[in-house]
Amino acid sequence: MRLLTLLTIAELTLGGAGLVASVVLMGSTSRLARLASGITTAVDSVYTAEQAERALLLHNRESALYLITKRQEHLHLRDQARRDLESALKELSNFSESQRERHALEKAVTNAEAYLRERDQLEAEGNSADAIFTATASSLDGTQGWLETLVQINYEQAQNLQKQAKSTDALGDLVGASASAAVMLILAGVFFLLHRGLKRPLIHLIREVETLETGKLSTITVAGPAELQEVATVLNHLIDRLRQQRESQLRFLAGIAHDLRTPLNAIKLSVQYMATGEVDEDQRSTLLAVDRQVLQLDRQVGDLLDTTRVEAGHLELKVSEQNLTELVESSVKIFSGVSPRHPIRLSAPDCPVLCDCDPLRIGQVMNNLLSNAIKYSPSGGEIRVTVSLHESTACVGITDQGIGIAAEDLTGIFEPFRRTASTREAIPGVGLGLSVAKRIIEAHGGTIRVTSTRGVGSTFTLQLPRKVSQDA
Ligand code: ADP
């Protein structure tokens, strides 16, 4: 699946869940607001109906007391109670919304009007308080009864609204919790898919790309989301092109190396022939210098040819039992005296160090490492060669006091055509000796390693499988 598609689906799902949750929560919030206002109205109605009831009873009592005592304060309180009753009844009409409420209010108003009218009339006729009380009892009770009904209706309404508010609140909580759970689930799913589908293939791709740094042109695995697969495919195209370029470079070099071999051999033989003739000291040392240069050139041409053979998988070994110390000694002999500023010190165990190996190839590796040790120590310095025996391996270490190799150059130093920045311009070479040495040693089942510090020197260490003598 494409990563972008996955992220778009996750975004849309999250957006959708958020939208549904917010719509439901908005709906339940406004419903709660409506219910709260309904409850307030119902409570106000109950309060006003009870106020009307109180005013009615007060009016009745103060009217009777006035008739009995004829005191002005009762008259005053009776008038105030009447006004309160009328205003409460008027106010109640603002609260009445349902049919039942309006009906009860209508009845309460009719009864209250009848009570007031009857009382006014009976008082004007000069009836006694007792007679008036008896005559108005029915309309008074009627008003009180309908006001009670109104209180009851509003009380029930408030309870009903409260129940609805509770269930709406519970629904809101449920929707909120479900939306949070859904968001968490979606996020967890997205993280899981990203981890499985992206993180692992990405780390794998990075590791494979890092191996390119060492010069190994191995094909990159095409896996993971489509975007990563596209990157891997593009990289594989590049790797293919690099491989082709390297092959044609090697073919070209093989051609040149082959053509160089014949004139080089002719020069070598001519120099050796001239040295056998009658020559003075100066001429002899010049011939020796030419011979060394030809030898160096011959080695480089040999490296070129070997590299092409190795790359084509044609490295052949002629293996036989050898004393490694003797092979090392003969290489050391060749290079001792090549440069007076580079004394070579050899240390080796007294016993033979036996290995199954191709003596010419191991000699070639030793020559290469020794010639490098001299070449890359331009200010001179001792070169130490150590042969050592271990449980199952035999080791040869070549340590120089030369320019050394920077840490960042150490990776890939054994790949063909690798040369450090500090030597590329100043010291001649083609960057093939170490790669050939590595292939030769690995073909023997051994390893070659280097440790180096810039400006201090380098140590190259060969490790070969050791052959334990039958006599031992
Ligand atoms: P060449 O010597 O022809 O360049 P090599 O494959 O033998 O090719 O060496 C590769 C590179 O490794 C050299 O160019 C040099 O930068 C570095 N190198 C090899 N040996 C040494 C050494 N003893 N001291 C410092 N640098 C070295």
Question: Atom of ligand 1 at shortest distance to CA of 400?
Answer: 23
Q: 377: which residues sit within 8 A by CB, 6+ positions away?
A: 342, 383, 400, 401, 402, 403, 457
Angle at 414 between CA 411 and CA 416, to 5 degrees: 115
Residue 472 has what pLDDT?
Answer: 46
Would you tell me how many other CB atoms lie within 10 Å of the CB of residue 171?
Answer: 16
> Can you tell me the distance from the alpha carbon of 108 to that of 150, in angstroms, rounded to the nearest whole number?
9
Calculate how far, in angstroms, residue 413's C-alpha sits from the geometric centre of ligand 1.
8
Residue nearest to atom 3 of ligand 1 (CA): 429
Calculate how far, in angstroms, residue 362's C-alpha sits from the geometric centre of ligand 1.
18
Query: E strand or H helix at 51, and its extent?
Result: helix 3-69
Calculate how far, in angstroms, residue 366's C-alpha sits from the geometric centre of ligand 1.
14
Residue 445 has what pLDDT?
Answer: 94
Calculate how far, in angstroms, residue 461's C-alpha sits from the geometric centre of ligand 1.
14
Angle at which helix 99-124 crosses helix 129-194, to 10 degrees, equals: 160
Q: Is 429 in the pocket of ligand 1 (CB under 6 A)?
A: yes
Residue nearest to atom 21 of ligand 1 (CA): 372
Nearest to 416 by CA among 431, 400, 402: 431
Calculate how far, in angstroms, residue 368's C-alpha sits from the geometric centre of ligand 1.
9
Residue 321 has what pLDDT?
Answer: 95
Q: Is 103 in the pocket of ligand 1 (CB under 6 A)?
A: no
Residue 469 has what pLDDT?
Answer: 63
Report whether 304 contacts 430 (CB < 8 A).
Answer: yes
Residue 147 has what pLDDT?
Answer: 94
Lateral strand order in the sheet of 383-389: 344-347, 383-389, 393-399, 457-465, 447-453
Q: Is 383 in the pocket of ligand 1 (CB under 6 A)?
A: no
Q: Is 115 in the pocket of ligand 1 (CB under 6 A)?
A: no
Residue nearest to atom 10 of ligand 1 (CA): 431
Backbone angles phi, psi at 140, to 5 degrees: -65, -50
pLDDT single digits (tens) 208-226: 888 887 667 889 988 888 8
Q: Is 420 in the pocket of ligand 1 (CB under 6 A)?
A: yes
Q: Is 403 in the pocket of ligand 1 (CB under 6 A)?
A: yes
For residue 95 the two structure tokens come to 């609260």
Calculate how far, in angstroms, residue 152's C-alpha sits from the geometric centre of ligand 1.
105
Question: Atom of ligand 1 at shortest distance to CA of 429?
Answer: 3
One DSSP character per residue, 71-92 reads -HHHHHHHHHHHHHHHHHHHHH
Place of tokens 């073909």: 443
Calculate how far, in angstroms, residue 247's C-alpha sits from the geometric centre of ligand 1.
22
pTM score of the predicted model: 0.53
Report whether 144 contacts 53 (CB < 8 A).
Answer: yes
Helix, strand, coil shares, percent, the chain, to 5: 70, 10, 20
Q: Is 413 in the pocket of ligand 1 (CB under 6 A)?
A: yes
Question: Atom of ligand 1 at shortest distance to CA of 419?
Answer: 14
> Can you tell me the distance from the alpha carbon of 436 to that of 315, in angstroms, rounded to the nearest whole number?
10
CA distance readout (Å), 247 to 302, 309, 447: 18, 11, 25
Q: Which residue numbers in the chain have pLDDT < 70?
A: 1, 214-215, 469-472
Q: Is 401 in the pocket of ligand 1 (CB under 6 A)?
A: no
